[in-house]
Structure 1
């Protein structure tokens, strides 16, 4: 590829006047990513080639704050669209190699005008900025992914404790699936918050969907029920299976006197809404 060069060109002028050459060298360096350019553009509206040119401008012009802001936006965008970060790493390293190919060519055309000190200063400045871009990119990529995981975890936790208001004073908590110590801890946190927030007076806790519980889990659930009573809310337990009742009697666990037990959820609904 033939470079455009004028004796008066500064390094940034040289890059600006040879954008097409830069693009060609970059694509030849990015062996695996170049076949993914259109796919990444389609998935996340991320234009790798133009973004590479923008990054080079920030590096050459020493626009450090713009570079970090750009890296942050890139990190979030790649995380939002779950694009493989291995592609980003290869792409940025290809950009780094292309920049140094340009600097070498520029220095040759300038008849080796760069002295040793100037060269090492340039090397430090450019590589530090490329590294800064990568660090900022990966930090923001990770932060976004972590926040997404946290949101998904909170969603799952809320779904695992589905408190359903029936009227202003009564709610139903239908529990389904395995109950372990972690889930009981979530129930404790969510239920007490909702009792305080909604001013629930009666909580119907339906356990018909829970097949078994270990003794230690039952003991922790009893603590939750005791806490509910302390907040002035009556707990009505429905649907206790024989396996859970047998485990309770084996380990000597009993609910407090304020806790009512009924055979089915329908019985509880009939009692509270019919009579």
Structure 2
């Protein structure tokens, strides 16, 4: 049988048995079946409709560009809404099994497929499904990595919020836990912002810090030294008693140029209220 004619007749058969196909597919994908409504609500992804679209693209072996675009669309959608990959894999494999079950029914009910046509059909369908899965995972991974990188940059920006209060004075309120990774971000951003904004005084408020390791204290001192090298005075406010005790035990002390105040309000009164 002509390949195009076989593809056409097979699509007609699947369309005529659409409801039975969907029921069979849902029985094959037990875990996904319970999540179909949730996936539709979360990501506006209609798994049933997308399954029919995928099947038509798979049967049309010459629709590679459309199949590639569809896999990209699906990969980005699943990455955007952080949907479970195991559900996607189960769903595609269920589609594969369902297709072959209905091809068998088509062969039994409608027309006998010649052995050569069958092997060509097997190659076409399985290769297309494998191609879709490969492209899906590549697009998912690529978009997810870009999304994580973008989110990390946003978090990094929020974790070191340098706030200008005059053309030459800025505040850096630090909140939460400060570890080595965060101090590395601080160092780069502080030095860059001093150069970009021509900051002359940086008020660093530490009252909101919940935890600070010894290595972090040492790194913080180096950052303060770096700001001094760039012509910026550092003012420290809100030092907690436990941090001060650690500094005393380690023999760490601020240089004479670094001023300290008990609270941020005291520093603002000193530098802003004349």
Pick the TM interval, shorter chain. Answer: 0.7 to 0.9
Question: What residue number does 1:114 align with?
Answer: 115
Does the CA contact (< 8 Å) of 1:176 and 1:207 recur in 2?
yes
* TM-score (norm. length: structure 1): 0.84
**What CA distance in whole angstroms lies between the structure 1 residues aligned with 2:19 and 2:33?**
11
Question: What residue number does 1:184 align with?
Answer: 183
* TM-score (norm. length: structure 2): 0.85
Question: What residue number does 2:6 align with?
Answer: 10
> What do you get for the CA RMSD once the two structures are aligned?
2.5
Question: What residue number does 1:174 align with?
Answer: 173
Question: What residue number does 1:30 align with?
Answer: 26
Deviation of the 1:214 alpha carbon: 3.5
**Worse overlay, 145-154 or 73-82:** 145-154
State the secondary structure of the residue aligned to 2:171: strand
Question: What residue number does 1:69 align with?
Answer: 69
2:94 matched to 1:98? no
Deviation of the 1:205 alpha carbon: 0.7
Q: How does 1:247-266 map to 2 (within 5 A)?
A: 247-266=246-265
Unaligned runs of 5+ in 2: none
**What CA distance in whole angstroms lies between the structure 1 residues aligned with 2:73 and 2:170?**
44
**What CA distance in whole angstroms lies between the structure 2 residues aligned with 1:85 and 1:52?**
16
Count of matched residue positions in the alignment of Structure 1 and Structure 2: 266
Q: 1:99 to 1:265 in 2, by over 3 A?
A: same
Q: How does 1:122-141 map to 2 (within 5 A)?
A: 122-141=121-140
**What CA distance in whole angstroms lies between the structure 2 residues aligned with 1:50 and 1:190?**
48
Q: 1:265 to 1:23 in 2, by over 3 A?
A: same
Unaligned runs of 5+ in 1: 1-7
**What CA distance in whole angstroms lies between the structure 2 residues aligned with 1:110 and 1:82?**
44
**What CA distance in whole angstroms lies between the structure 2 residues aligned with 1:11 and 1:217?**
66
Deviation of the 1:142 alpha carbon: 3.0
